[in-house]
Amino acid sequence: MRIGSVMKMNGVSRVRLGYDAEWRIIRLIAMASLAAVSGCGGMRPVPLFTTHQAPIENGLPVVARDDLLNEISMYHGVPYKEGGDSMKGLDCSGLVQVVFAPLGVKVPRTVVEQFGSGIPVGRHDVRTGDLVFFGGGRLPDHVGIAVSDDEMVHASASRGVILDGIDNFAGTTRLQGARRLVRLR
């Protein structure tokens, strides 16, 4: 990785990686394409239960950043299906569950249950692997997985599994919070 620039937000210096949004999109599409042409027609089984458990550090499972991003990329373009939890179709909380399961991280099934998991983090502390929650009511009704401090992957009801800006999406519905489920190495 190469360092891009240092920027200040609310008096805090933050290092911004030199990869821009277009590069991330191209990388995700390339990974998804590679996955689609390898193996059995691109359809790999999605483990709903796993005996593998990620090691724990400071109370959170530890996973490799690249492994998490590779899992996320496997689902890019999968169609939306309410209650879906496979390559045939996913809803937002199902996406979270199937991405983390092969990494040995057990995640509850529903958005509200997922909102009650992990460690709460503020918007300016969101990083890769954190869950971001949205909704207009008292409890969230949508979740995405942050792939950076400003982008997430989520299962859109109209567009399937896609990459979106966290703040752009929050412009259409209220950001209700974020939760850290894993530590990245």
Residue 142 catalytic? yes
The partner residues of 14 in beta bridges, in order of sequence, read 7
Distances (CA, A) of 55 to 37, 50, 68, 83, 114: 32, 14, 14, 29, 20
Q: Which of 89, 82, 96, 85 is nearest to 48 (CA)?
A: 85
Q: Supply 77's token pair.
A: 């373009």
CA atoms within 13 A on the CB side of 22: 0
Catalytic residue among 40, 52, 124, 154: 154
Residue 124 catalytic? no
The partner residues of 120 in beta bridges, in order of sequence, read 179
Residue 40 catalytic? no
State how far the Cα of 152 lies from the Cα of 79, in Å rounded to an integer: 17
Catalytic residue among 52, 76, 124, 142: 142
Q: Supply 134's token pair.
A: 């949205």
State how far the Cα of 154 lies from the Cα of 76, in Å rounded to an integer: 9
Catalytic residue among 40, 76, 92, 124: 92
**Could you give the residue numbers annotated as active site?**
92, 142, 154
